[in-house]
Each structure stands twice: as structure tokens, then as C-alpha cells.
């Protein structure tokens, strides 16, 4: 005989699981976006690069949204999809938008 306590626990767990699944479905991943940005963008756009350093801080969140909506790289000469898939670009966009120049920034002694 399963006690009502276990039934309640199972129902709550199922509910939380459904919430998480609903939240995860289709949502862009900021963590993955940071990973792709470091692996794909930073090699050519690191600090001191002649191509210009690219970090989330160089644009506002609105500017990043416009940039990814246009989907162009190298001043419009090529598609961003040359480097990342659309799903990966959505992740990178989430990372850049959420850490843009108009978002809260880390405050450490190293600036």
C-alpha cells in the first residue's frame, strides 16, 4: 500500500519536472552561448586582436538583438551561419544580450 505521503511527493516531483521541462523547451542557453562565444568568436576577436575585441560589453542589449537579427558577419560580407548554427547563434545571442553594456556587471578589484 503506497502512503499518501509518497503520492504527494511524487505529484510534487512530477509538477516540478514538468515546470523544468517547460522552461527548458526551446529556450536559448546562456551557458552554451558563453561556451560558443569563447570557442568560436574569441580566437579571432580576443583582447588586442586586429579584428577588434568582441565581448558582450561592446554593445547594448538592443544593439545585440539587432545584430543577431541581421545575422551578418565581417561588416555584412558573410552570414553568421558560416560559423555557428542558428540554434548556437540563439545561445550566443542570449549570452551577449544578458551581459551587454546596459546589464549589471561583475564588480571586482580587477575591474
Partner 1 sequence: MRKVVLAGLMVALLMPVGLMAQTNEDLMKQIEALKQQLQSLEAKVAAQEKAVAQEQAAPAPAPALEKEVSNLDARLSKVEVKTSEDRINWGGDLRVGYGYQNWHINPYQQFSGFNPQTHMPMFQQVPGQDWNNSMDWSLRMRLTMNAKVNDNLKFMGRLTMYQLYGGADVPVFNGSPNTVLDSFDSASVPNSDVLHVERALMVYHFTNIPFSFAIGRMNTSDGPPLEIRNESERDGTPMAIMVNAEVDGVHAEYGLKDLGFPDGTTIGMCAGVGYEAGFGGGGQTAESYTMTPFGMARINGMRDSKVIGLIYDMPLMWMAGNTVNSAELILGYNRFNDMTDIPYGALINFPIPGPYAQPSPQYVTATKNLGDMDQYGLTWEHHIGDNFVYFVSGGYIKSHPNGQVSAYGFGGLLGDPNHSQTGSAYYTGVRWKATPKWTLGAEFNHGSKRWYTFTPSAGEESDKLAARGDVWEGYVHWNFNKNVMLKMGYIHYDYSTAYSGWQIAPTNLDSLNLGNNPQLFYPFPKTVKNAYVMLEARF
Determine the Cα–Cα distance for residues 14 and 4; give it in Å rounded to an integer: 15
Q: How far is CA 52 from CA 22, 42, 48, 76, in A?
A: 39, 10, 7, 15
Instruction: Name the one range near partner 1 by CB under 8 A: 4-12, 14-22, 51-59, 78-86.
Output: 14-22
Residue 31 interacting with partner 1 (CB under 8 A): yes
- Min dist CB 11 to partner 1, Å, is 16
Least spacing, CB of residue 110 vs partner 1, in Å: 4
Please tell me whether residue 23 binds partner 1 under the rule CB under 8 A: yes
Of the candidate residues 11, 13, 14, 38, the single one contacting partner 1 (CB under 8 A): 38
Site size toward partner 1, by CB under 8 A: 22
* Site residues for partner 1 per CB under 8 A: 16, 19-20, 22-24, 27, 29-32, 34-35, 38, 104-111
Amino acid at each position: 500500500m503506497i502512503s499518501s505521503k509518497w503520492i504527494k511527493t511524487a505529484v510534487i516531483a512530477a509538477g516540478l519536472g514538468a515546470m523544468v521541462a517547460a522552461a527548458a523547451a526551446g529556450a536559448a542557453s546562456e551557458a552554451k552561448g558563453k561556451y560558443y562565444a569563447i570557442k568560436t568568436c574569441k580566437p579571432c576577436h580576443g583582447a588586442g586582436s586586429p579584428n577588434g575585441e568582441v565581448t558582450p560589453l561592446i554593445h547594448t542589449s538592443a544593439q545585440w538583438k539587432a545584430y543577431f537579427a541581421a545575422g551578418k558577419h565581417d561588416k555584412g560580407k558573410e552570414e553568421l551561419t558560416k560559423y555557428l548554427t542558428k540554434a548556437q547563434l540563439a545561445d550566443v545571442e542570449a549570452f551577449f544580450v544578458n551581459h551587454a553594456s546596459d546589464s549589471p556587471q561583475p564588480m571586482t578589484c580587477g575591474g
